Amino acid sequence: MEELFIVGPTKLKEIVKHFVGELQKGLDHEGATVAMLPSFVTNRPTGKEVGSYLALDLGGTNFRVCEVYLEGQSSVRLRQKKFTIPEECKNADGEVLFDFLASSVESFLKDSGVVPTGQNLELGFTFSFPVNQTALNAGNLLVWTKGFNCSNTEGRDVVEMLNEAFTRKGLKVKVAALVNDTVGTLMSHAYNDPQTLVGVILGTGTNAAYVEKIENVKKWKGPKPASGEMIINCEWGAYDEEKAMLPLTQYDNKLDAESQNPGQHIYEKMISGMYLGEICRNVFLDLIEKKYLFNGYLSEELKKQNSFETQYMSRIERDYSADLSDTKMILQDLLGIPNTTARDRRIVRRIVELVGIRAARLSACCIAGLVTQMKKLDGCTVAIDGSVYEHYPHFGNRIKDALHELLGIFAENITLALGKDGSGIGAGVIAALAN
Ligand code: ADP
């Protein structure tokens, strides 16, 4: 297993080089594996922007409405409320969903006593579904994912549909910007740290955005921005869909084959929260079948796809007890495997560690790739948001270790920072800049 999962420094370097080549293809032409989408965000904040902006974050089960107060002097206050999207809204006519979003904004504003009068309140809309963005405040929905499927929406401009819902409610709110969560994470952190040039998500999925010189974006046909820069949403989860470079094991290939999107998002499937536990489960199944683990016993629970959750990995890696007692509890109470031996538990722990370390080291490759592409080895900040980065023990240090192997002494110049609530605050910052 160690031979399969440990990615040494030579391979790390090969991946970085290959990834930079793939970035280039995405900047040169449409339809590349790593899509490299221009975000239409062309200015970074100075930290002096002031004002109150709304942000709306629609991505999965919950959606959040936030009020972002930019106080100048790089300081931000955030007030937010989470709403659960009723199942019936997810599969209804688009108007039903967008009316629900608008009434949530209305209820948030009522709670906070803010009644927009006269001038419209400006809103940044973080929308984590595939869109073809055509302006800062316009983008056509390509396809719904994550259990959403609203009729009369695909191909239409999501900003327009939200603005129409506000008008139906008589709310004086206007969408100023359509924002990807990676771009939001970058911009939010840049508000208090101008060195921030990269925003990364390591959560359910993974992706990143970074600051690129417009002359390097060969496929860009629009007007040249005054800043000379464009923030690019990489869509790096799709990296290596050709399976030409990443060190895939039989366990990764099984996960991919059984996934909802076989052959797609290969990099994401080795790194992000939705998949790490399942890679471990595939290894356990193999070792159980060979009778190396649990004396060959396979529980009903462990037979189920995704039953070994990524958050169990965090707990197991945090289990420092001599007999791995928390690991024992997880196996027994959550996975229906009683009577594990200390040896079983040490094997489980080591597998978890191997999969977790590999994920962090592969994340480091693409971070190093972006820093190399920007020629910023002399220093920059990478803002990272998402539960995997925030809660998985040692994840950040493991990324750092790999950066050292890749970049040597220059790794010291790269600051990794947790960009918590980045997408909400960032959408507010982008709305402020648009204003
Ligand atoms: P999202 O990316 O959907 O906005 P999160 O950043 O919270 O949301 O990521 C959720 C993902 O993180 C889930 O796939 C889950 O498996 C994983 N996750 C949640 N808690 C933990 C944890 N303690 N350790 C590692 N992974 C976790």
Distance 204 CA to ligand 1 centre (A): 5
Residue ranges around ligand 1 (CB below 6 Å): 59-60, 203-204, 273-274, 309-311, 314, 386-388, 391-392
Q: Does domain 1-39+192-419 have CATH number 3.40.367.20?
A: yes
Q: What is the pLDDT of residues 54-103, one digit of tens each?
A: 999 997 667 899 999 999 988 999 999 999 989 899 889 999 999 999 99
User: Which of 255, 311, 330, 355 best tests ligand 1's pocket when mutated (most atoms within 8 Å of CB)?
Assistant: 311
Q: Mean of the pLDDT values across residues 430-435?
A: 90
- Give the 3-state DSSP-derived string for 112-177, with helices as H, strands as E and coil as C: HCCCCCCCCEEEEEEECCCEEEEECCEEEECCCCCCCCCECCCCCEHHHHHHHHHHHHCCCEEEEE
Please give the number of the atom of ligand 1 that sits closest to the Cα of 423. Answer: 4
8 A C-beta contact, residue 34 and residue 235 = yes
Q: Phi, psi at residue 424, to the nearest 5°?
A: -65, -55
The tens digit of pLDDT for each residue in 312-368 reads: 999 999 999 999 999 999 999 999 999 999 999 999 999 999 999 999 999 999 999
- Where does the pLDDT of residue 117 fall: very low under 50, low under 70, confident under 90, or very high at 90 and above? low
Helix, coil or strand: residue 140: strand
Sign, Cα dihedral of 30, 32, 33, 38: negative
This complex has an ipTM of 0.98
Cα(64) to centroid(ligand 1), Å: 17
Out of 388, 391, 395, give the residue to mutate to test ligand 1, the one with the largest number of ligand atoms within 8 Å of its CB. Answer: 388
Distance from the alpha carbon of residue 419 to the mean position of ligand 1, in angstroms: 15
Contacts of residue 301, defined as CB under 8 A and 6 or more positions apart, other chains included, come to 307, 334, 335, 336, 337
Q: Helix and strand tally (H, E) in the chain?
A: 16, 13
146 flagged as catalytic? yes
Residue 426: other Cβ atoms inside 10 A: 36
- Which tens digit of pLDDT belongs to each residue from 10-44? 999 999 999 999 999 999 999 999 999 999 999 99
Q: Which amino acid is at 249?
A: T
CA of 169 relative to ligand 1 center, distance in Å:
35
Write the DSSP symbol of residue 122.
Answer: E
Task: Tell me the sheet residues that pair with 143.
Answer: none
Residue boundaries of the structural domains of the chain:
1-39+192-419, 50-179
The whole-model pTM stands at 0.94
Contact by Cβ (8 Å): 52, 79: no
Cross-strand partners of 236: none
Pocket test for ligand 1, best of 82, 204, 317 (most atoms within 8 A of CB): 204
Phi-psi bin for 159: left (phi > 0), alpha (psi -120 to 50), beta? alpha
CA of 134 to the centre of ligand 1 (A): 31
Atom of ligand 1 nearest to the CA of 386: 6
Residue from 57, 157, 181, 240 carrying the catalytic annotation: 181
Closest listed residue to residue 260, CA positions, set 279, 240, 275: 275
CB 341 within 8 A of CB 297: no
Task: Give 361's Cβ-side CA count (13 Å radius).
Answer: 24
Tell me which of 3.30.420.40, 3.30.70.2190, 3.40.50.300, 3.50.4.10 is the CATH number of domain 50-179. 3.30.420.40
Nearest CA to ligand 1 atom 9: 203
**Can you tell me the distance from the alpha carbon of 350 to that of 353, in angstroms, rounded to the nearest whole number?**
5
